[in-house]
């Protein structure tokens, strides 16, 4: 019995899960996944007329949302640092500008999101109008960040495609001994392109959440929950792999 217990507790998957949850991002993506599952289930139960059962899932969704806001307190500074580093980096102007803009937008989003959280736990006491205004500004920053990320992805994807095309082009001056290096660079570029496409899909689905909150589109909680589950699982998968790579 002790042997079975030790095998379960010390299983590599359990160890990797602990590594995943040891990071704020890993916990946030896990919470977000459950939060969106709760949102979808609540919508389904309400449509079936089970309002009392739906209330439990809505309560869980709200609790997880508040917990995520708490975990992200101070994270805006991280994005400001990233924006500052981007100003000092070299690279294509378009990619640099969108990177800076995206990081500043996310910093603004997280700052105002922290105010929303502070009001929800009564640390601050906003009027109804002030609460709505802060929430709207937060969602505007969020939407701007995602849109800038999408533009950045398109610019980067185009550049990487050009680099792959140039790498494939025959060059009479190249030596046979360079084949291994060119092959390694080719695979590196393809991996970068795959990562850009992956994040582009996530952002293409996530963009509808702030757009809905701002009233730009009208989507039901079922659709928002379903897209949220997809993007949360995709992001969680990335974090899971990163946790597995950590020693």
Q: For 97-127, what is each residue's pLDDT tens digit?
A: 999 999 999 999 999 999 999 999 999 999 9
Question: What pTM value is reported for the model?
Answer: 0.91
What's the CA gap between 105 and 142, in Å, rounded? 7
**If you ran DSSP here, which 8-state letter would residue 217 be given?**
S
Straight-line distance from the first to the last Cα atom of the chain, in angstroms, rounded to the nearest whole number: 29
Mean pLDDT of 10-17: 88
What is the rounded CA–CA span in Å between residue 87 and residue 199? Answer: 22
**pLDDT for position 6:** 77
Buried b / exposed e along 217-233 (16+ C-beta atoms within 10 A): eeeebbebbbbbbbbbe
User: Percentage of the chain with pLDDT > 90?
Assistant: 82
Which position has the token pair 């001994």?
Answer: 177
pLDDT score of 49 more than 60: yes
């Amino acid at each position: 019995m002790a042997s079975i217990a030790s095998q379960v507790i010390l299983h590599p998957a359990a160890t990797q899960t602990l590594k995943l949850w040891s990071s704020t991002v890993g916990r946030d993506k896990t919470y977000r996944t459950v939060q969106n599952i709760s949102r979808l289930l609540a919508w389904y139960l309400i449509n079936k007329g089970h309002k009392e059962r739906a209330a439990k899932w809505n309560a869980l969704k709200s609790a997880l949302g508040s917990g995520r806001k708490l975990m992200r307190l101070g994270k805006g500074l991280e994005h400001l640092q990233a924006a500052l580093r981007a100003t000092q980096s070299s690279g294509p102007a378009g990619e640099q500008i969108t990177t800076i803009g995206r990081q500043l937008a996310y910093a603004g989003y997280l700052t105002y999101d922290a105010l929303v959280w502070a009001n929800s736990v009564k640390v601050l006491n906003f009027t109804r109008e002030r609460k709505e205004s802060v929430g709207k500004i937060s969602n505007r920053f969020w939407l701007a960040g995602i849109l800038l990320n999408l533009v950045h992805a398109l610019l980067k994807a185009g550049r990487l495609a050009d680099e792959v095309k140039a790498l494939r082009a025959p060059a009479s001056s190249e030596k046979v001994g360079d084949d291994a290096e060119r092959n390694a660079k080719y695979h590196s570029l393809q991996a970068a392109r795959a990562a850009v496409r992956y994040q582009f899909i996530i952002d293409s689905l996530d963009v509808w959440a702030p757009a809905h909150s701002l009233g730009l589109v009208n989507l039901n909680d079922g659709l928002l929950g379903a897209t949220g589950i997809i993007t949360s699982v995709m992001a969680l998968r990335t974090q899971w792999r990163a946790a597995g790579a950590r020693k």
